[in-house]
C-alpha cells in the first residue's frame, strides 16, 4: 500500500505539471501567458489610405510597391487568440501553436497573406547592413515638402532602425515586408512582450487561415482609425509640424533653428502669428545639427526660440506630473519646484521648493520667462 507521504508527493508533482493542454503546448508556455502575456496590452494596427491629390508621393509609393492589401484597414483581432499565439511561440523558430493548430509566421507566409513578393535579399536589408550615412537619412526625411504620416508623440521612439526603414521606403528601395514583420514578431517574443502585443490583427488572420476556431463571445480588439486624408488633417498641430524641414546652425541646446514649412517658407513670426492668443507645440523632431550631427531638437528648445520671437506673456507646459522636479519624479525624495525665476542672462533660481507629498497643491505652478 502506498504511504500517505508518497501520495502527497505525487499529488504535488501532478499539480506543478498541470496546465491547460488545449491552450498551451507546455507548462513554460502557460507560465509565460500568466506572468507576461496577460499583463501586456495589445497594439492595434491601422490602415493607411492617402489621398492621391493631397498626398501624391505617398499614394504613388504605395501603388508602385503593390502594397494595396498591406495598407488596408485590418479586421478586429481576437484578444485570446493573440495572447495564446504569443504564449506558445516556439523560441528560435517562426511558428506558434494555437488551439492545436500550428501557425507559421515566416516571411513567406506573411507575404502570401498580403499578396506581396519575396526577396532573396531586398535593398533595404542590403543598405541596413552597410555603413549607414545617418546624415543623409535625416536630410532625406526632413526635406522641404516631405509628407509626414503622423507627428511622433515621443521623439525617443524614433530609433535608428525605424529611420533606416523610412529612408528605404522614401527612396524607393525594395522592402521585404514579410521579413520586417517576422523580425518584429520575434523581437516582441524575445523582449518578454514588454512593449505590448503587436500585429494583433495579422496574427488573428493567420490563425483563421490555419483553421483555428473561436466563439463569438471572445473579446475583440478593434483596429485604430484608418489614416486617411481627413484623419491626418484633424490631427492637432498638423499645420505646425515642428520640423517640416529642419537644420540647426550650432548645437541643439543653444541653436537658432532655420525651419521651413511644408510650403518651403521660413517659419518666422508674422503679424498673424503675433495676433494668435495660443500657439501649440506638441513635440520636437529629428534634425541635422552642424556640431552634433543627427540629433533631437526638443520641444523645450523650440518653445524658447518661439518665446524669443513672439514675446508671449506666459508659456504653459502641460505634463502628466505635477510640475518640474529636481530629479525623476518617480524617486521617493523628489522635490517639486513650484516657482522658478529666470533672469535675462538665462540663469534661473528656485523661488518655492516644496517636497511633493502626493496632494494637488503642486498644480499651481508658475514659470517666468524673461526675454
Q: Name the phi and psi angles at 198, rounded to 5.
A: -85, 170
- Of 206, 233, 260, the residue that ends a domain is 233
Q: Is residue 240 included in any domain, yes or no?
A: no
**pLDDT at residue 307 is higher than 90:** no
Question: Terminal CA-to-CA distance of the chain, rounded, Å?
Answer: 92
Bridge partner residues of 335 (DSSP): 355
Task: For residue 327, give its domain range.
Answer: 316-371
Quick one: how far is CA 180 from the chain centroid? 16
Q: Is residue 280 included in any domain, yes or no?
A: no
pLDDT at position 105 is 97
- Of 184, 208, 233, the residue that ends a domain is 233
Looking at the fold, whether 346 and 208 belong to one and the same domain comes out as: no
> What is the full DSSP assignment across 217-284?
TS-EEPPPPPEEHHHHHTSTTGGG-TTSB-EESS-TTTPPB--B-TTS-B----HHHHH-S-------
Q: Is residue 81 included in any domain, yes or no?
A: yes
For the whole model, what pTM was predicted?
A: 0.61
Looking at the fold, whether 222 and 90 belong to one and the same domain comes out as: yes
3-state secondary structure string, 33-88?
HHHCHHHCCEECCCCEECCCCCCHHHHHHHHHHCCCCCCCCCCCEEHHHHHHHHHC
Looking at the fold, whether 227 and 343 belong to one and the same domain comes out as: no
Give Cβ neighbours of residue 15 (< 8 Å, ≥ 6 apart): none
Q: Is residue 59 included in any domain, yes or no?
A: yes
pLDDT confidence band for 142 (50 / 70 / 90): low
**Beta carbons of 331 and 324 less than 8 angstroms apart:** no
C-beta atoms surrounding 194 within 10 Å: 9
Looking at the fold, whether 79 and 203 belong to one and the same domain comes out as: yes
For 109-121, the pLDDT digits (tens) are 999 999 999 999 9
- Of 218, 233, 248, the residue that ends a domain is 233
**Beta carbons of 255 and 248 less than 8 angstroms apart:** yes
Q: What is the mean pLDDT of residues 168-186?
A: 94
Looking at the fold, whether 96 and 200 belong to one and the same domain comes out as: yes
pLDDT at position 284 is 63
Q: Is residue 91 included in any domain, yes or no?
A: yes
- Taking the C-alpha atoms of residue 180 and residue 200, their distance in angstroms, rounded to an integer, is 15
Looking at the fold, whether 81 and 216 belong to one and the same domain comes out as: yes
Looking at the fold, whether 180 and 51 belong to one and the same domain comes out as: yes
- Total domains present in the chain: 2
Q: Is residue 50 included in any domain, yes or no?
A: yes
Residue 90's nearest CA partner among 186, 191, 182, 177 is: 186
Amino acid at each position: 500500500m502506498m504511504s500517505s507521504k508518497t501520495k502527497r508527493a505525487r499529488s504535488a508533482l501532478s499539480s506543478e505539471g498541470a496546465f491547460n493542454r488545449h491552450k498551451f503546448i507546455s507548462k513554460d508556455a502557460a507560465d509565460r501567458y500568466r506572468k507576461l502575456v496577460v499583463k501586456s496590452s495589445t497594439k492595434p494596427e491601422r490602415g493607411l489610405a492617402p489621398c492621391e491629390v493631397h498626398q501624391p508621393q505617398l499614394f504613388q509609393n504605395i501603388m508602385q510597391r503593390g502594397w494595396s492589401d498591406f495598407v488596408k484597414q485590418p479586421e478586429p483581432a481576437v484578444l485570446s487568440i493573440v495572447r495564446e499565439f504569443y504564449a506558445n511561440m516556439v523560441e528560435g523558430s517562426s511558428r506558434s501553436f494555437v488551439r492545436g493548430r500550428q501557425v507559421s509566421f515566416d516571411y513567406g507566409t506573411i507575404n502570401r497573406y498580403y499578396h506581396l513578393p519575396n526577396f532573396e535579399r531586398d535593398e533595404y536589408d542590403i543598405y541596413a547592413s552597410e555603413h549607414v550615412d545617418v546624415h543623409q537619412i535625416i536630410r532625406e526625411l526632413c526635406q522641404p515638402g516631405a509628407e509626414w504620416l503622423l507627428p511622433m508623440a515621443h521623439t525617443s521612439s524614433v530609433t535608428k532602425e525605424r529611420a533606416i526603414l523610412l529612408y528605404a521606403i522614401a527612396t524607393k528601395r525594395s522592402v521585404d515586408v514579410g521579413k520586417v514583420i517576422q523580425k518584429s514578431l520575434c523581437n516582441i517574443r524575445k523582449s518578454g512582450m514588454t512593449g505590448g502585443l503587436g500585429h494583433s490583427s495579422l496574427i488573428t488572420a493567420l490563425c483563421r487561415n490555419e483553421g483555428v476556431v473561436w466563439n463569438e463571445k471572445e473579446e475583440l480588439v478593434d483596429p485604430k482609425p484608418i489614416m486617411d486624408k481627413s484623419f491626418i488633417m484633424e490631427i492637432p498641430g498638423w499645420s505646425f509640424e515642428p520640423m517640416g524641414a529642419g537644420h540647426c546652425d550650432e548645437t541643439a541646446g543653444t541653436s537658432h533653428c532655420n525651419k521651413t514649412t511644408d510650403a518651403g517658407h521660413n517659419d518666422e513670426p508674422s503679424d498673424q502669428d503675433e495676433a494668435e492668443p495660443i500657439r501649440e507645440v506638441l513635440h520636437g523632431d529629428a534634425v541635422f545639427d552642424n556640431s552634433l550631427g543627427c540629433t533631437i531638437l526638443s520641444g523645450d528648445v523650440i518653445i524658447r526660440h518661439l518665446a524669443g520671437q513672439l514675446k508671449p506673456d506666459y508659456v504653459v507646459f502641460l505634463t502628466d506630473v505635477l510640475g518640474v522636479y529636481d530629479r525623476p519624479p518617480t524617486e521617493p525624495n523628489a522635490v517639486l519646484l513650484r516657482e522658478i525665476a529666470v533672469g535675462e542672462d538665462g540663469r534661473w533660481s528656485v523661488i518655492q521648493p516644496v517636497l511633493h507629498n502626493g496632494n494637488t497643491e503642486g498644480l499651481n505652478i508658475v514659470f517666468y520667462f524673461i526675454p
